[in-house]
Amino acid sequence: GGDLSVYRKLYTFAGLLADQYLIFLVFRVYRRQVGLRQVNLEGEAYFEVTRNEDKPFVVHTKYLDIEVLGTSFNVYSYERENVMEMALISGRIKIQTCSEPSRVVYLKPNEKALFNKESGIITVEKTDNRFETAWLRGDLVFRSTTLSDVLAKLERRYGVNIHLNDSSLANDLFTGNFD
């Protein structure tokens, strides 16, 4: 029950909500069921969640559910992207796939989970949280990223279309920062 709050943002939304979680949201749709510690997300968001063992906080995406007790983490979940990412900044999170057979992984700080939507495979790797939260500072940071992925992120960030005249460059790797 409760009211449904819907935010469609083209810019960053940041706020401390009544049930004590902080959210930074960029580009896409965020729905929150009032009175529950649950959100549905398409896009990228950073959460800082107050611990409440009796009422876990859950982020629902189309492919994964992310359950936390008290933590900070980043979720990257765009519909047009083949891979979803969840990076844990502090605390502990449980990630469960929504499709059968259901798979569960737990993350520790400085780890991130990558979920391939096509294969259904979820993997865990070490990460640098400064990189994972760079967008909160307005930075775009790329590490060995294909040029086609760099251009897609620049298109999304600036609301423009970028055409690559030489498609043979699409898989070339780029490392650098835009701030």
Task: Report the C-alpha gap between 90 and 133 in whole angstroms.
Answer: 12
The answer to whether residue 115 scores a pLDDT higher than 90 is yes
Whole-prediction pTM: 0.69
Structure-token pair, residue 175: 């490392």
Q: Position 161: which residue type? A: N
Contacts of 12 (CB under 8 A, 6+ apart): 24, 25, 26
**Could you tell me the pLDDT band of residue 4, with boundaries at 50, 70 and 90?**
very low
Confidence band for 179, pLDDT divided at 50, 70 and 90: confident
- Position 108 confidence tier, pLDDT thresholds 50, 70, 90: very high
Q: Which of 31, 28, 50, 29 is nearest to 39 (CA)?
A: 31
The residue ranking higher by pLDDT, 15 or 173, is 173
Average pLDDT over residues 72-84: 85
pLDDT at 122: 94
Output the CA–CA distances (angstroms, integers) from residue 71 to 58, 88, 153, in the order listed. Answer: 12, 8, 27
The per-residue pLDDT of the chain, averaged, comes to: 77
The answer on pLDDT for 174 being more than 60 is: yes
Read off the amino acid at residue 72.
Answer: S
Task: Please state the rounded mean pLDDT for residues 33-43.
Answer: 71
How far is Cα 15 from Cα 21, in angstroms, rounded to an integer? 8
What pLDDT, on a 0 to 100 scale, did the predictor assign at position 87? 92
- Please name the residue ranges forming H helices in 16-167: 129-132, 147-158
Taking a C-beta distance cutoff of 8 angstroms, is the pair 112, 124 a contact?
yes
Residue 17 pLDDT greater than 50, yes or no: no
61 vs 48: which has the higher pLDDT:
61
List beta partners, residue 60. 40, 65
Token pair belonging to 18: 């009544």
